[in-house]
A = this chain, B = another copy of it.
């Protein structure tokens, strides 16, 4: 049955616009296309070998994901989050993740494990002085938390929030170093959860958000 599900993904080949959008998303998140950069329809379309119409469809997709911003008759630009955006982003995360974390005792073991595992891996890597994937590990931890809610829609929206946050890190020139700072926090949260003190874990998560928001926002005031 699992093979059928796999094949399904192969059969549902994405449209050209979807594939272009995926590629552009990756480039933006990898930092190859800097925030604020204007994406010319002609230049990008020519380079990728797709028509303007198809490319515009891809742009719409990414605009909805908040990766790009669309200005009428001016074109699309890689989003450049401001300090206000960061505040909004963290206000949303606080509600979503703290709310999800409070469900800790009502969810499946698999869901709980999706929260613990990323931290365990990050700790293991940190002990080996391997800081290569600390960023994605931190994201995985928070994805796990959102997953406790058991809503695909909420998880999808959170992924969009995380992507936008990545752009903010990029603007703040703090892509990797940033996440690394907060591993101790994540450990503490998992520890509190394992102790059965869920409310304390929620409070700890809330403090993490305070610190992270302030840290990031302070780096975004200057241009």
Contact = CB atoms under 8 A, between A and B. Distances in A.
A44 interface: no
A92 B149 contact: yes
Contacts of A57: 56-57, 60
- Among the interface residues A91, A95, A151, which one has the most CB atoms of the partner chain B within 10 A? A95
Interface in A154-174: 154, 157, 161
Nearest to A149: B95
A15 B150 CA distance: 37
A8 interface: no
Contacts of A153: 66, 88-89, 92, 161
A154 B61 contact: no
A9 to B, nearest CB: 13
Complex copy number for this chain:
2
Interface string A46-67: 0000000100110011001010
Contacts of A89: 151, 153
A45 interface: no
A28 interface: no
A99 interface: yes
A100 interface: yes
Nearest to A21: B60
Contact of A88 (B95, B100, B152): B152
22 contacts: A13-B72, A15-B72, A17-B60, A53-B53, A56-B57, A60-B60, A61-B64, A66-B153, A88-B150, A89-B151, A91-B149, A91-B150, A91-B154, A92-B151, A94-B99, A94-B149, A95-B95, A95-B96, A95-B151, A95-B154, A96-B99, A98-B99
